[in-house]
């Protein structure tokens, strides 16, 4: 298991995750971060939200923003 941190950035504010969460792999951590971005990013006050994922060593792994929506995902899948 690896330990990852999920910092929230919106506007000029940020919330630093000082506890983190264990995940089996990078993919699991990124999926979790995307879920956070999608759930919080739905709120009009937090549309500028980005989730910064850090490793246990402090390295930046990814920066995620809210998904455009299920409609765009469905159209992309149909176009394959």
pTM of the model: 0.79
Task: For tokens 């490793």, name the residue.
Answer: 55
User: Pairing between strand 50-55 and 13-15?
Assistant: unpaired
Structural domains of the chain, count = 1
CA distance 31 to 39: 12
pLDDT along the chain (80 residues), means of 10: 95 93 94 92 76 96 82 49
CA distance 80 to 70: 16
pLDDT in tens, 64-77: 998 876 435 544 55
């Amino acid at each position: 298991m690896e330990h990852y941190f999920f910092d929230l950035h919106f506007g000029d504010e940020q919330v630093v995750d000082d506890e983190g969460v264990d995940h089996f792999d990078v993919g699991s951590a990124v999926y979790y971060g995307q879920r956070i971005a999608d759930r919080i990013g739905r709120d009009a006050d937090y549309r500028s939200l980005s989730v910064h994922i850090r490793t246990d060593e402090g390295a930046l792994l990814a920066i995620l923003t809210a998904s455009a929506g299920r409609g765009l995902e469905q159209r992309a899948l149909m176009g394959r």
